Structure 1
Amino acid sequence: MSTGLSSDRALEAPDQFLSPSILWGDELKASFKLSWPLVIAQLAQMSLYTTDVIMMGWLGPKSLAAGTLATTLMSPFLLFGIGLITAVAPMMAQAIGALDFKSVRRTTRQGFWAAVFIATILVALIWNAEFIFLILGQTSENASKAQGYIRFAVWSFFPAFLFLVLRCLLSSHGKTSVVLYITIAGIIVNALGNYALMFGNWGFPRLELLGAGISTTFVNTIMFVLILTYILMHRRYKRYAILVRFWKPDWSRFREIFRIGLPIGFTLTAETGLFTAAAILMGWLGTNELAAHAVALQCAALAFMVPLGISQAATIRVGLAYGKKNHDGIRKAGWVSIAMGTGFMIFTCLAFWFIPTTLVSFFLDPALPENKVTLGLAVSYLAVAALFQLVDGCQVVASGALRGLSDTKVPMFLAIFGYWVLGLPISYVGGFVLGGGGQGIWLGLAAGLAFVAVVSVIRFTLRDRFGLTNYKSI
């Protein structure tokens, strides 16, 4: 049965801007054109969770603290799965660069398999979250409320991971605007769902945190259905026939996704796990500190979405150049993306330093007396966050460039060392031994990010010496 892949010129000739450029200006133009929809889509994706946090704040500091525990516990598991599934992006980009479109189809199908497999495991691991929180020294009230949210929100892992596979497929072809539109639609649906289910509006029951969890799963399901429908109906992409013989195993490709993806998953988990550990430490300090940490972390996370989107474009740009065996294209794609990501974070550094009160006020009403302590703490944490903006942007984009070369294993070990051997101990010593409280904890986060940024840039710089550009068949 022919799929038409070999004769479809629309597939065999990707957009011109996807071909690795020769001039630096051309590379900047190509990287920016690919990056900006991904950046906005990342901001929109993050806005789904930011909307939850803002509305949790409307319920009060106790709900915000419990919701923060829930989201910070879910984040490492979620990002582990995202990291694993992200392996399909460099695999697809390298295949497109080599004009091997059958490999793109194989990777998409096995990406679905990997998404369902890893989501099943992660849901089982996180299901009894209350027990985990109690072991980590959290209050029984916060632990119970957090588990209630998680038991509904955790089902979003399935559609979220499946959505990511198809997002990588479109991004590898340079078609990212559709992802942006679908994600924006998701924000609207999520906000309406939260408003109805959290607060009992429009005749719905008032479910508070449980309502936020239900809305999270519902909106991710809608987003997956929309992107799947688009791909199945679009003339260019339906020729991949991604659902034909879906149940036929392709074990070599399945193993390849895990070979590349597991280190990415562990890398993202190491970083997010550091922030989760910081939230646990904040919980030891008190509810106000934990709520303030949630607000400051949301501000930092929103800023991080921009270089994260650029890093995804870097993976694709570098992967395309690698597939074409274009050494100069690899060099230019990597350095242009690193410059773009780091350059943006200069602006967020200045914002965190000069207008922290304005930013924090989006999450907590400064007119309410009960928010005064939390607001003050959040402002102090943003002052520390300003210090690590540049290194945070640098490390994520450099890591994305390395992934375009399928280099994931060594960066994983470097990240684990930086975040857990350096960052976490510094957080504990700064927060408790030296009495720095929340600011001391955040200084540890900055130290871990700085180390990973430096070693990642060095590794990309010395990519030839490390044998990362020894081209292999896709």
Structure 2
Amino acid sequence: MSRGSILSGLTPHQLRPWRAEMSATLQLAWPLAAANLLQMLVHAVDVIFVARLGEAELAASSLAIALFGLVLWGLSGLTGAVAPLIAAEVGRRKHAVREVRRSVRMALWLAVGAGILGMLACLNGERLMLLTGQDPAIAAMAGSFMGIIIWAIVPSIMANVLRIFVSALGRPIFATMIIASAILVSILANYMLVFGNFGAPALGLEGSALASVVTSLFILAAYVIAISWDKRLRRYRIFGNWWRTEWSRMQEIIRIGTPIMGTIFAEAGLFSGAAFLMGRIGPSQLAGHTIALQVAALAFQIPFGIGQASTIRVGYHYGAGDRDAMGRAGWVALMIAVAFSMVTASIMLFMPRTVLSIYVDTDAAKNAAMVGFAVQYLLWAAIFQLVDAVQAVSAGNLRGLQDTRMPMVIAIISYWAAGFGVAIWLGFRTPLSGTGIWIGLATGLTVASILLTWRWARRGSIGLV
């Protein structure tokens, strides 16, 4: 998979399309990756403010966000099926404006309907936490937090659909600019509502949840304004005749998107489940896990953005029927992702306390236990950076080919049979405890990366193109 093994032996003439594809992928990927990083910084703002309330509040928000994030990312995956559809429609170039408009409109419909169902599911969060053996006081705090933050689900999913639209149509920088602005909104809202500044009430943990709702509404409004303002995007008139139904297109999005949602539930469920496992071990381990996972998730946004770009690039060539270009797009994306992940892994490995100091005071005596566990977990986060990057981009490549069902099966096997099984065994049957849970996470990602890359490499022989 290395650059040398893929490109070795090619003449300068043969290398030209590879360089062109790398340039196109980077132009699309960097604003998406930047937007992902900035989105994580929006969440990091919440963690930073909540961490200053205390260990209990941080543990409660961690449990709530574990469930909330699982629902939000899963439903974003369902509606995110619009990405390969738009890319293929643009690649075919026939009736692209009309077909793109149909896809986006139905994806927005689906975002509202699925989002409401997601809100109802999250209302049972406290009960679920109690059933999994969480501390009742922590579960009660998490339940109150959840009752507010669920109002961010629908606007967040709708904003994700609009983000896909602007990115696939050549305006990914809009996503970067909007999320960068959202960081300032999140900081201001948390500053006001958590600690009661500028005349606002001091709502504590619930204030952070309300700040998330305010931020999500701002992001959705910003996308609507940007699309209405930009001449190229405005010609698609995606908000026109919003009441018109296109049931066949809705079914197509659901057909492709349901396995994507299943894949995300499998992967995100592993990480969310890890939080619940940590909660059974102890609050200090859970708090340390939350901080370490926040760092790992932040680093993951780079290969995740590259994977989003590869879905669009592979999907574009898939629509155009260019098999060679599909392969170039996928392999180029993999090379870029592995290169970046080596950098982030090195930072976690050699500067763990420096990274953790962004979130908490690493020298404070009250944080000693939490920081100690976080440093241990960051070692394993560094180890699985490479395989995490590979699985993210390989999954993105396959989505560009509209291949989603088998990747879902692979995800379930990898994350639950392998990853979660190892996490439970090592975490509760051996002295490794929390470290064993992180080894389980690494195991699941490794198995997924091997199987997904194998399927991508054999795409021609198994009839995907």
Query: TM-score range with shorter-chain normalisation?
Result: over 0.9
Secondary structure of the structure 1 residue equivalent to 2:52:
helix
Which contiguous aligned blocks of 4+ residues in structure 1 show a shift greater than 4 angstroms? Answer: none
CA contact (8 A) 1:22 1:328 kept: no
The letter of the residue matching 2:462 is: F
Secondary structure of the structure 2 residue equivalent to 1:59:
coil
Q: Work out which of the residue numbers 63, 67, 80 in structure 1 matches 2:61.
A: 67
Paired position in structure 1 for 2:45: 51
User: Deviations 1:253-279 (Å, cap 9, x if unpaired)?
Assistant: 001111001111111111111011111
Do structure 1's residue 81 and structure 2's residue 75 form an aligned pair?
Answer: yes
Do structure 1's residue 182 and structure 2's residue 145 form an aligned pair?
Answer: no
**Structure 2 CA distance, aligned partners of 1:234 and 1:278?**
43
Cα root mean square deviation, aligned: 1.1
Secondary structure of the structure 2 residue equivalent to 1:23:
helix
1:17-416 equivalences in 2 (<5 Å): 23-99=17-93, 100-101=95-96, 102-416=98-412
CA contact (8 A) 1:22 1:329 kept: no
Q: TM-score if structure 1 supplies the norm length? A: 0.93
User: Deviations 1:190-246 (Å, cap 9, x if unpaired)?
Assistant: 111001000111111111111111111111111111111221232222222222221
**Structure 2 CA distance, aligned partners of 1:208 and 1:333?**
47
Paired position in structure 2 for 1:435: 431
User: Deviations 1:152-178 (Å, cap 9, x if unpaired)?
Assistant: 111111111111111111111121111
User: Deviations 1:6-33 (Å, cap 9, x if unpaired)?
Assistant: xxxxxxxxxxxxxxx9611111111001
**Structure 2 CA distance, aligned partners of 1:385 and 1:166?**
31
Secondary structure of the structure 2 residue equivalent to 1:436:
coil
Q: Work out which of the residue numbers 420, 423, 445 in structure 2 matches 1:424.
A: 420
**Structure 2 CA distance, aligned partners of 1:49 and 1:262?**
26
User: Deviations 1:358-384 (Å, cap 9, x if unpaired)?
Assistant: 111222212321110111110001111
**Structure 2 CA distance, aligned partners of 1:355 and 1:244?**
51
Secondary structure of the structure 2 residue equivalent to 1:137:
coil
User: Deviations 1:284-323 (Å, cap 9, x if unpaired)?
Assistant: 1100000000000000000000000000000000011011
**Structure 2 CA distance, aligned partners of 1:162 and 1:355?**
37
**Structure 2 CA distance, aligned partners of 1:328 and 1:292?**
46
1:67: Cα distance to partner? Answer: 0.9
Provide structure 2 residue ranges, at least 5 long, that are not aligned to the other structure: 1-14
1:188: Cα distance to partner? Answer: 0.5
Provide structure 1 residue ranges, at least 5 long, that are not aligned to the other structure: 1-20, 470-474
**Structure 1 CA distance, aligned partners of 2:313 and 2:440?**
33
1:66: Cα distance to partner? Answer: 0.7
Secondary structure of the structure 1 residue equivalent to 2:170:
coil
**Structure 2 CA distance, aligned partners of 1:284 and 1:444?**
16
Secondary structure of the structure 1 residue equivalent to 2:393:
helix
1:457: Cα distance to partner? Answer: 0.6
Paired position in structure 2 for 1:17: none
CA contact (8 A) 1:51 1:191 kept: yes
1:36: Cα distance to partner? Answer: 0.4
The letter of the residue matching 1:69 is: L
Paired position in structure 2 for 1:448: 444
CA contact (8 A) 1:88 1:108 kept: yes
1:90: Cα distance to partner? Answer: 0.5
CA contact (8 A) 2:353 2:362 kept: no
Identity among equivalent pairs (%): 39
CA contact (8 A) 1:310 1:337 kept: yes
The letter of the residue matching 1:150 is: M
**Structure 2 CA distance, aligned partners of 1:287 and 1:42?**
29
**Structure 2 CA distance, aligned partners of 1:33 and 1:311?**
13
1:148: Cα distance to partner? Answer: 1.4
The letter of the residue matching 1:151 is: G
**Structure 2 CA distance, aligned partners of 1:332 and 1:397?**
13
